[in-house]
A and B are shown apart, each in its own frame.
Chain A
Amino acid sequence: MFSLLGGIFLGWSLGANDASNVFGSAVASRMLKFWTAAVLASLFVLLGALLQGQAGIDTLKGLTQLTLQTAVVSSVAAAITVTIMTILGLPVSTSQSVVGAILGIGILKKQLNVMGLGKVVACWVGTPIGGIMIATIVYQVLAFVYNRLRINLVQSDKLLRLSLIAAGSYGAYSLGANNVANVTAVFVGAGQLSVFSATLIGGLSICLGILTFSRRVMETVGKKLVRLDAFSALVVMLAEAMTVHFYTFVGVPVSTSQAVIGAVLGVGIVKGINTISRKTLTGILIGWVLSPVVASFFALALDFVIHLH
């Protein structure tokens, strides 16, 4: 059980950070109360993890052969990477950190599934692009329907609020289904956990992060993104959820932050406005490259330290 602590910590930090990608824009702009968002996010994350978390776990555990020790090393390396990069204010992807750490171990043991890695990297590239494409399509389809509804201000308000809750819940489901592999896949690979236990423990640790520490992140990170009107926020949340859910079927954990940025860019394209600054984009790009590299380095360094004794 003690060996799982690294994974649980990683799950906690994933929940604390990534819930803002699901409900952040709605909570930061006061469209939704924090506790409504947090409880819904926790429920749906757990549901997603339990029902569809297996595919990602199969992909990650297949990247290299893991022992309990290397599983702990990779999970702790990923957790350290996420923590340090968050403290430094750099955008970090938990999915990329975990894969980077597994990659470090794989290189060290000379046991790397190159085909599996290629699929994962292709999905990383595809995440923001998918976010852009899906947001563009979703915006136009929803706008077509919405503009034809004969509803007054209050009805429109109710409809948008219910849709935001539904889209956020779907986003949380996708987050749980897609990202639970980041938390506990290495322990399945090491034979420490069954798939069901991995999805349950992983899902619960993400929930813990959401319920205990996501408030500040939701309220601050949400405001760092461009302030969106309710309809655009709905499109972003829905596009992010659909993008991440798509990669759940592919079986690759991806970054919800990158899916959100892609979706916000997509909304900007449709509306003909600049939704993301060059500085934010540069930061995302740096995070995209640094997350796996730094995690690989930490995994190698930790393994080296352990083998000194």
Chain B
Amino acid sequence: MFDFFFKKQRQVESLIDSYLDNLKMTEKHFDEALNTCLDSGICDRFDFLTEQTHKFESKADDIREEIKMLMYGKALLPESRGDIMGLLESMDEIPRILELVLNMIKTQRLVIPDLIVLDVKELIRVSLESSDLMVKEVEALFKGSEDIRALVATIDQNESHCDHIERRIITKIFDSNLDPFQKIQLKDLIVNVGEISDQADRVSKRVNIISMKRRV
């Protein structure tokens, strides 16, 4: 009935939907790129998927800027504006980390040794699952579709699981006979992959606080 009052709100909602879709696409290309690298090493397909991941990461920045401009145009109440801007800044770390990991592999010509391939695959799977759940949680905040607290708990569990896998991989790396320089490179890579679930957990907790703040 009062929709004419809320044109900017609708635009914000639609842009946040686009942002989340874009984030899913970034994750999808990252997943494919990393698994290609693990299975076949650095190849044309990996380069192509890395380039695609970069494109989606850039698009995420553009959408975020567009939302920011709408917010400055006074869409939503001031406290909601602050919450959403903070949330977007925090969420935007994830595509940045995904791109960073692929670029580390590409520019440093990293080769993942067989002894950690399975563990790395597991780390990626759980990290991206956390990121997916985080997207669902953000959708729940804007659409009220799912139980936010249940998602927070699962993401928190995943984060602990990822920490455990990360420690296991780093131990294996340093127990191996790999070149010391390669060990440092691989450790940095694993720490960055582990950052995905850490950041998803931070975003998840932020969403929970935003949701709790709306109870009076």
Interface positions of A (Cβ within 8 A of B) = 29-31, 33, 142-143, 146-147, 150-158, 160-162, 229-231
Contacts and interface: CB of A to CB of B under 8 A. Distances in A.
A161 B5 contact: yes
Interface stretch (B60-68, B90-98, B141-149): B141-149
A33 to B, nearest CB: 7
Nearest to A233: B77
Contact of A155 (B74, B144, B215): B144
A229 B79 contact: yes
Contact of A157 (B77, B140, B211, B215): B77
A30 B76 contact: no
A158 B141 contact: no
A157 B76 contact: yes
Contact of A154 (B5, B74, B142, B216): B142
Given A31-B78, A152-B144, A153-B80, A158 B216 contact: no
If over half of A's interface residues share one DSSP class (helix, strand or loop), that class is named, otherwise mixed; here it is: helix
Contacts of B9: 154, 157-158
B214 A29 contact: no
A162 B5 contact: yes
B48 interface: no
A162 B77 contact: no
Contacts of A146: 216
Contacts of A33: 74
A154 B76 CA distance: 8
A29 B82 CA distance: 12
A31 B12 CA distance: 16
Contact of B142 (A143, A153, A160, A161): A153
Nearest to B74: A30
B174 interface: no
Contacts, number: 51
Residue of B79, B140, B215 ringed by the most chain A CB atoms within 10 A: B79
A135 to B, nearest CB: 13
Interface residues of B, number: 24
Interface in B1-60: 2, 5-6, 9, 12-13
Contacts of B84: 153
A225 to B, nearest CB: 15
A215 B195 CA distance: 49
A30 B144 contact: no
A153 B78 contact: no
A161 B143 contact: no
A33 B79 CA distance: 16
Residue of A150, A151, A153, A230 ringed by the most chain B CB atoms within 10 A: A153
B150 to A, nearest CB: 16
B144 A150 contact: yes
A153 B141 contact: yes
A31 B84 CA distance: 15
Contacts of A158: 2, 5-6, 9
Contacts of A230: 77, 79
Contacts of B83: 153
Contacts of B214: 153, 156
Given A143-B216, A154-B13, A29 B78 contact: yes
A142 B216 CA distance: 9
B210 interface: yes
Given A31-B78, A154-B12, 15 more contacts: A29-B78, A30-B78, A142-B216, A146-B216, A147-B215, A147-B216, A150-B144, A152-B141, A153-B83, A153-B211, A154-B76, A156-B214, A160-B77, A161-B5, A231-B216
Nearest to A164: B77
Contacts of A153: 80, 83-84, 141-142, 210-211, 214
Contacts of A147: 215-216
Nearest to B210: A153
Interface in B95-137: none
Residue of A151, A154, A161, A229 ringed by the most chain B CB atoms within 10 A: A154
B6 to A, nearest CB: 6
